[in-house]
Chain A
Amino acid sequence: MAQSTLKGIPRALRGALDKVALWSRINSPWLVHFNSGSCNGCDIEILATLAPRYDLERFGVKLQGSPRHADVLICTGPVTRLARERLLRTYEQMPVPKFVVAVGSCSITGGAFHGCYNIVGDIGDVIPVDVYVPGCPPRPEAIIDGVVQLLTKLKGGAPAKAPEADARLGGGS
C-alpha cells in the first residue's frame, strides 16, 4: 500500500500525504467489469449505468479495459467452476488498493443458480467483497448507490481487509 512508498518522510507530512492519497482514491475509482457466470441481466444494467443517461464520469468513474488500470472490480453472477480461476486471476492482476463490488442476487447467494452442479458458490466464496448490490437485476440507481457506499466506506477509515489471495496463482505478476 501507500505506506511503503512514504518511508523516510516526517510523520506530520506523512499524515497530510495520506489524506491527499485518500482524496484521490475516493475521487477517481476506475472500474473493471467481470462476468463470472451471470445471465447477462446485471451486465446490461451495469452498462446502462455507465451510459450517458446516468454518466458515472461525474464521480470520476471510468470503465477500464485492463485490470492493471482498475481500482474497483465490479463483478456479476455466481462463480462457475470455469470462471473461478479467471476471476481469481483478474483480481490478482489488479494493483492494491483494490475493491470489489458484487452486483446482483446471484453474486450474493448464487441466486437462481444456487446448488447447480457447475457452480462453485457466490463471489464472496472466491474473493473478498467490499459491497454487495442486491437485485435481480439491480437498477442502475442501486449500482450507483453501491459504488457510493464503497466510497463512503473508504472515507470512513480503513477499507475492508483484503485477505491473502490464493497463493497457488502467484502474487500479481
Chain B
Amino acid sequence: MSVVLALVALVLFPGGLFVIFGSLAFEYADRKLVARFQNRVGPRWFQPLADLVKLLVKEEIVPVGVNRGLFNGLPLAALAASLTAALYVPMAGIAPAWGFRGDLVVTVYLLMMMTLCIGLAGANTQDRFSLIGSTRALTQLFSYEAPFLLALLGPSIAAGTWRISEVNGYAREHIWMIVTQPLGFLVALIGLMGKLELPPFDAPEAETEIVSGALTEYSGRGLAFFHLGRDVELLVGLTLISAFYLGGLGNPLHFILKTLVLLFVTAGLQSLFARLRIDQTVGLWWRAGAVLALVQLLLLIVLKILGVRL
C-alpha cells in the first residue's frame, strides 16, 4: 500500500503532474500580470503549454565543440532537481510528501541546482554569449544564495528545527512571520527573484546585450526542460516562502491564494524595475541583502537567548 502511495506522491500529487501543470499555470499568471502592468492584453491561458510542447517537438541542434553528454544531461538534471525539491515543500498547503531532519538545507541545495546547471550549460558551449551569460549566472549565484539561505534560516531558528514540516507547524500556531521577521521575508522574496533571473536581476540573460545568455545554443528539448525547470522553481520557491512567512499549512485554497498574492508582488516588482548591471546586483546583495538578513538573524538569536517568545 505504501508503494502505491509513494507512486501517487511521485507521479500525481504533490510531485510530477501536479507540479508541472501548476507551474505552467503560475507562468501564465506571471506573464499575464506583467502584461497587464504594461498595459497589454497578455498571453492566452494555454500559452505556456503550447510553448512547452512546441519546444519539445522542435529539432535539437547540438553545436560543434560541446560535450554531448553534458549538453543533453544538464537540462534533465536541472528539471529533476526542481521536481525533487517539490517533494519536500508543502505544495498547495498540504504537508510535504517526504521529510527528514535537515530537509530545508537539501531543498535549498536542490533549488540551487538549476542555476548551477544553467551556468555549466553555458560554459559547455563555445559561444561567447553563452560564456558571458554563464559567468554572470554564476556570479549572481554567489551573490544571492547566502542572503536567501539566511532569510530562510530565520523561521527555522524561530521554530528551533531544520525540518520544513516542523517549521510549517510552528508557523501555523504563531503570528505570521512576515510580521515578526519582515526583513527576512523581503530578502527571501527578492532572493527568489534573483534565483529565477527575473527582472531586475536578468543580467545573465540580457537579450539586448548577450542574445539570451547561457541558453543561447539550446534549441529544442533542452530549452524546454530549462524553461519548465524554472517554472517549477518559481512554484516551489513561492510555496516555500508562503509556507514559512505567511502562516504555514492550511486550507489549500487559502494557501494557493497566499502564493498568488506573492506572485502578484513579484510581478509588480518585475515591471517596476529596470535591469541591474551585474556589479550592481552583487553590490545590492552583499551590501544590503546579506546585512539585512544578518541583522534579522542576530535579533532572532538575541531574543531567543533572552527568552522572548515570538
Contact = CB atoms under 8 A, between A and B. Distances in A.
Contacts of B58: 71, 95-97
B63 interface: yes
Interface stretch (B46-54, B114-122, B273-281): B46-54
Given A68-B217, A69-B219, A95 B47 contact: no
B22 interface: no
Interface string A74-116: 0000000000000000000101110000000000000000000
Given A21-B57, A58-B42, A28 B50 contact: yes
Contacts of B211: 65-66
Interface stretch (B31-39, B82-90, B96-104): B31-39
Given A28-B47, A95-B60, A57 B42 contact: yes
A69 B62 CA distance: 13
Contacts of A1: 59
Nearest to A68: B219
Contact of A24 (B57, B129, B216, B218): B57
- Interface size range of chain B in the complex: 35 or more
Of A57, A60, A93, A96, which is in contact with the most chain B CB atoms at under 10 Å from its CB? A57
Contact of B212 (A2, A69, A71, A95): A69
B44 A60 contact: yes
A20 B49 CA distance: 11
A25 interface: yes
Contacts of B39: 52
B40 A57 contact: yes
Contacts of B60: 95
A118 interface: no
A64 interface: yes
B41 interface: yes
B43 A58 contact: yes
Contacts of B59: 1, 95-97
Contacts of B223: 68-69
Contacts of A173: 61-64
Nearest to B205: A65
Interface string B214-237: 011111100100000000000000
A57 B212 contact: no
Interface of B: 31, 35, 38-44, 46-47, 49-54, 57-64, 129, 207-208, 211-212, 215-220, 223
Interface of A: 1-2, 5, 20-21, 23-25, 27-28, 52, 55, 57-58, 60, 64-66, 68-69, 71, 93, 95-97, 172-173
30 contacts: A2-B57, A21-B53, A24-B57, A27-B46, A28-B51, A52-B38, A55-B40, A55-B41, A57-B31, A57-B42, A58-B44, A60-B51, A65-B208, A66-B212, A66-B215, A66-B216, A66-B217, A68-B61, A68-B218, A69-B223, A71-B54, A71-B58, A95-B58, A95-B60, A95-B220, A96-B59, A97-B59, A173-B62, A173-B63, A173-B64
